[in-house]
Amino acid sequence: MSVRKTLFALSSALMLSVSPVLAAGTVNVAIIGEPDTFDPMVSTKDVVSIVTQHFVETLYTFDESWAVVPLLAADMPEISDDGLTYKIPLREGVTFHDGSSMDSADAAASLQRWLEVSSRGKSVADKVAGIEASGPNEVTITMKEPYAPLLSLLAFSNSAAVVYPEEIIAPEIETIVGTGPYKIKAHEPDQYTQLVRFDGYTQPTGAAERKQVPDEIRLIPVPDGNTRAEGLLSGQYDYADGLSTETYDRLEASDAAEPVLLKPFGWPVFAVNHKKGIMTDLNIRKAVQAALPFDDMLYAGFGDEKFFKTDGALYPEGWTWHNNAGVELYNQNDQAKAAEYLKAAGYDGSPLRILTSHQYEFHYQMAEVAKAGLEAAGMKVQLDVVDWATLAQNRNNPDLWDIYITHSPFLPEPALISSLFSTAREGWDNPTKNEILNRFTSESDPEKRKAIFGELQKIVLEDVGFIKVGDFNALQGKAKGLTGVNPSPWPAFWNAQVSK
Amino acid sequence: MAKYLLRRFVGMVVVIILVLTIAFVLVRFAPGDPAALMLGPDATPQEAADLRTRLGLDEPIIVQYATFVGNALKGDLGESLFFNRPVTSILADRAEPTIFLALMSLFFALFIATPIGIYAAYKRGSLLDQSSVTSAMLAASIPSFLTGLVFQRVLATNLGWFPTAGYGGPDADIWVRLGHLILPSITLGITNSALILRFTRASMLDILGEDYVRTARAKGMPETRVILRHALKNAGIPIITVVGLTFALLVSGAVVTERVFNLPGMGNLVVNAVLRRDYPVIQGTLIIVASIYVLINLATDLLYFFIDKRVKY
């Protein structure tokens, strides 16, 4: 055999051995990292929500227009006139992955655990008088005071009020048992979570059908963004989350994949330390707000107007909560005015400490431009650039920062924005804001709530409770042949179909 | 020989205890909170503090150190904060891709470097010699992550010759898993071949000038036999040293390459553990890596003895 023939035979053999041979109906999803837990009650991380929503379910969920609809509940709750009692009917015939049937005891025990271990549950626990299994298929939540966002909290997949069998309820659950359309077949940390169709699944009555189209869903942690993009472009992954905006043009030009632009996705935010440091002075906060060049910061962070919008409203156009109250205070880019505020504050040249990291490059890039704008107004700025684990630690210590940079998707209900509450790490405890927030959370009339949210947005801007930088669009990507996945910060794959 | 082995063994124990202590101290004094990371962005400081208590991270450092050393001496490296599994079991899972990657890349490196190094020395000053030296410089100068990215884009994404990343998934057999290592191995092999090539060439040049080589030639011995039997055997010790060190480096985790190709090996494990502040995994990996280093060094030294009978311990 000639050398050329030998090489050809060898490479052919290698090709056969390394080409990915997929089971029919397998959807491969590249996610940004390994979920720390399969218990979404105890985590507020988006990657945990993306993975766990396939195998555990909440009583309610959101539809495509972010309205609350029943999932494990049979219907919307019967709410008493005083807004204190929520009678929630449960669907009958729902089976857990261990074969047992779901009943009200499971739901009540799970909700009780949610109040005890979940960040969002704890935030509402002091308003809950009791939870009881009021019938074989009915659970009743009694409130001490009306709390309108309750259903949104119950519907959210993050820090989620999921239902587990009563028997496994404990402060820490070792093996998760859910009711979702898929169940965990195998899990190799940092390699994959392999989900297979749950044959005992019954369809919800309110939420969109979960058709269980793929035989398998493989959620593959790929921490490197470039590797996620290459894997998608090569056809190895059918969907990739969290892609760099620089990948957009390659995806558009590709025959194998296409971009999925979540427009708008969320908002970068400068969280303000109201507990300690120079930002506790309103004039300093106003100086920072006046000096920041928001459009330049967004350009630096996202590079192309395809990916951002200079917008001061807390919710973008098209959302129920959108309004323009107070937005004239956004994007002033007026360093002279900022200098006047600094003078009024008797600013002594103490450095403004901005805590950020390279974990999300746009955070750092925005911080650099912000620094230039603030220095032009006469402020001394100290950029504390650390890794994400250090940032997560330091932001819990109010002695160490004045501003830290983060971002959030647009949440379906404003009461899910933790920074609005004085109990959050930022500690924004303005009495007027607290009064507006109380009215907002206890009002049940949607129109009145919208009007109150306008007041809330206004005081966020006037008191500089936190600083919204703008709207940004997130980039995901999908294989050209993939259908059945709705673009979302928490994409779900139960209806996904791949034609190869 | 027995005395030598005993001395080396005591040395090994001292090195490992030192590494164990340094690893513990370094990771504990580095900033960052695993509890705050695990709970996500909206958890309150109090929740993070509660989780730290549950994980035993708020115990006095000295108590944590004593527990760690006591357990390590019994072969228990602790439990991962994130995976709720023993570190030893996680490391055992991650050893396969790393060891295969090390072996395959070493094979590629030797396959490229040894014949070229020998031939370059034999034809000293020739075009091939000069171009091989230049190529080796180039290969050593290009960081492996760049080579990896270029190979990944061109050979995997554009040409589809290789998988882009990963280790094959749940139903991958050994051949598919090895197939996923070809591209990363070539990437690492090219980088490491530079050093081996230069050592082989330099070592062969020294030997080819020796009297006994001239004598062998004068006796009419075939040139192949002179080169391979007499010269290469005697040039072997420096080559083995560099091969041993390269292998130790590769087994301890080709961090960047594993990251680029998303391989679930020890390099990727330690990077993730550092980012997550998974203290037991960081400590456990460092101890294992240090042990591998000293063992491979010992094996290399012992190999000298078998190759060159003049070496005495």
Compare B278 and A59 and report the one with higher pLDDT.
A59
CB-based contact A457:A323 (threshold 8 Å): yes
CB-based contact A459:A465 (threshold 8 Å): yes
CB-based contact A139:A36 (threshold 8 Å): no
In DSSP notation, A77-99 reads -EE-TTS-EEEEEBPTT-B-TTS
Question: Into how many domains does chain A fold?
Answer: 2
| Torsional class of A466: left (φ above 0), alpha (ψ -120 to 50), beta (otherwise) | beta
Chain A contact present for B176, CB below 8 A: yes
Which CATH number belongs to the domain containing residue A93 in this structure?
3.90.76.10
Structural domain boundaries enclosing A162: 58-166
Written in H, E and C, the secondary structure of A292-354 is: CCHHHHHHHHHCCHHHEECCCCCCCCCCCCCCCCCHHHCCCCCHHHHHHHHHHHCCCCCCEEE
CA angle centred on A106, ends A104 and A111, rounded to 5°: 95
At residue B313, the pLDDT reads: 64
Q: Are the Cβ atoms of A236 and B164 closer than 8 angstroms?
A: yes
Q: Name the minimum distance, in Å, from the CA of B21 to any CA of chain A.
A: 22
Q: Are the Cβ atoms of B262 and A194 closer than 8 angstroms?
A: no
Q: Are the Cβ atoms of B165 and A231 closer than 8 angstroms?
A: yes
Q: How far apart are CA B128 and CA B143, in angstroms?
A: 24
At residue A12, the pLDDT reads: 39
Shortest CB distance from B31 goes to which of A15, A18, A393?
Answer: A393
Is the pLDDT reported for residue B39 higher than 80? no
Of A136, A166, A196, the domain-final residue? A166
Compare A130 and A14 and report the one with higher pLDDT.
A130
At residue A20, the pLDDT reads: 42
Residue A121 belongs to some domain of the structure: yes
Q: List the structure tokens of B292.
A: 């591998």
Q: Give pLDDT tens digits for A175-228.
A: 999 999 999 999 998 899 999 999 999 999 887 789 999 999 999 999 999 999
Identify whether residues A270 and A158 lie together within a single domain. Answer: no
Q: Name the minimum distance, in Å, from the CA of B300 to any CA of chain A.
A: 33
Q: Give pLDDT tens digits for B206-259.
A: 888 888 888 888 888 888 888 877 788 777 777 888 888 888 778 765 888 999
Compare B304 and B273 and report the one with higher pLDDT.
B273
Q: List the structure tokens of A481.
A: 């042949």
3-state secondary structure of B145: helix
Distances (CA, A) of A371 to A28, A46, A359: 41, 29, 19
Identify whether residues A298 and A404 lie together within a single domain. Answer: yes
Q: Which helix (H) or strand (E) holds B195?
A: helix B182-208
Residues 249-308 of B with CB under 8 A from A: 259-262, 264, 268-269, 272, 275-277
Q: Which of B285, B232, B255, B286 is nearest to B110 (CA)?
A: B232
CB-based contact A484:A217 (threshold 8 Å): no
State mean pLDDT over B97-109: 92
Q: Are the Cβ atoms of B42 and A119 closer than 8 angstroms?
A: yes
CB-based contact A376:A291 (threshold 8 Å): yes
Identify whether residues A284 and A433 lie together within a single domain. Answer: yes
3-state secondary structure of B182: helix
State mean pLDDT over B85-96: 90
Q: Are the Cβ atoms of A392 and B32 closer than 8 angstroms?
A: yes
Q: Give the best residue of B262, B270, B278, B281 to mutate against chain A (max A CB count within 10 A).
A: B262
Give the HSE-up count for residue A273: Cα atoms under 13 Å, Cβ half-sphere. 21
The residue extents of the domains of chain B are: 19-73, 95-268+288-307
Architecture in CATH of B95-268+288-307? Orthogonal Bundle (1.10)
Q: Give pLDDT tens digits for A272-291.
A: 999 999 999 999 999 999 99
Percent of chain A with pLDDT over 70: 95
Q: Are the Cβ atoms of B166 and A188 closer than 8 angstroms?
A: no
The residue assigned the tokens 């311990």 is B313
Of A166, A192, A213, the domain-final residue? A166
Q: How far apart are CA A112 and CA A481, in angstroms?
A: 43
User: Across-strand partners of A183?
Assistant: A196
Q: Name the minimum distance, in Å, from the CA of A443 to any CA of chain B.
A: 24
Full-model pTM:
0.85
Chain A contact present for B222, CB below 8 A: no
DSSP class of residue A476?
E
Chain A contact present for B194, CB below 8 A: no
The residue assigned the tokens 């990996």 is B285
Distances (CA, A) of A249 to A216, A223, A256, A441, A498: 30, 21, 13, 43, 23
Shortest CB distance from A119 goes to which of B47, B179, B275?
Answer: B47
Q: Give pLDDT tens digits for A327-345.
A: 999 999 999 999 999 999 9
Q: Which of B291, B266, B274, B267 is nearest to B75 (CA)?
A: B291
Q: How far apart are CA A378 and CA A339, in angstroms?
A: 6
Compare B262 and B71 and report the one with higher pLDDT.
B262
Q: Give the best residue of B164, B173, B181, B260 to mutate against chain A (max A CB count within 10 A).
A: B164
Is the pLDDT reported for residue A5 higher than 90? no
> Which amino acid, residue A188?
E
Q: Are the Cβ atoms of B156 and A234 closer than 8 angstroms?
A: yes
Distances (CA, A) of A321 to A313, A447, A456, A473: 9, 10, 11, 18
The rounded Cα A205 to chain-centroid distance in angstroms is 25
Chain A contact present for B75, CB below 8 A: no
- Indicate the range of A76-80, A342-346, A428-432, B52-56 predicted with least confidence: B52-56
CB within 8 Å of A375: residues ≥ 6 apart? A381
Q: Are the Cβ atoms of B268 and A190 closer than 8 angstroms?
A: yes
| Polymer length of chain A | 500
Of A115, A140, A166, the domain-final residue? A166
Q: Name the minimum distance, in Å, from the CA of B180 to any CA of chain A.
A: 6
At residue A191, the pLDDT reads: 92
Q: How far apart are CA A19 and CA B293, in angstroms?
A: 35
Residue of B nearest to A192 (CA): B169
Q: What are phi and psi of A19, to 5 degrees?
A: -65, 130
Q: Which residues of B touch A186 (CB under 8 A)?
A: 170
Q: List the structure tokens of B127.
A: 């075009």
Q: Which helix (H) or strand (E) holds A29?
A: strand A26-31
Q: What are phi and psi of A387, to 5 degrees?
A: -80, 170
Q: How far apart are CA A55 and CA A97, in angstroms?
A: 9
At residue A13, the pLDDT reads: 43
CA angle centred on A264, ends A258 and A265, rounded to 5°: 80
DSSP class of residue B86?
B
Q: List the structure tokens of A143.
A: 């409130």
Q: How far apart are CA A49 and CA A42, in angstroms?
A: 11
Residue A171 belongs to some domain of the structure: no
Q: How far apart are CA A254 and CA A259, in angstroms?
A: 9
Q: Which of A269, A48, A31, A117 is nearest to B37 (CA)?
A: A48
Four-CA torsion A103, A104, A107, A110, nearest 10 degrees: -100
Residue A221 belongs to some domain of the structure: no
Angle between helices B232-251 and B279-307 (to 10 degrees): 170
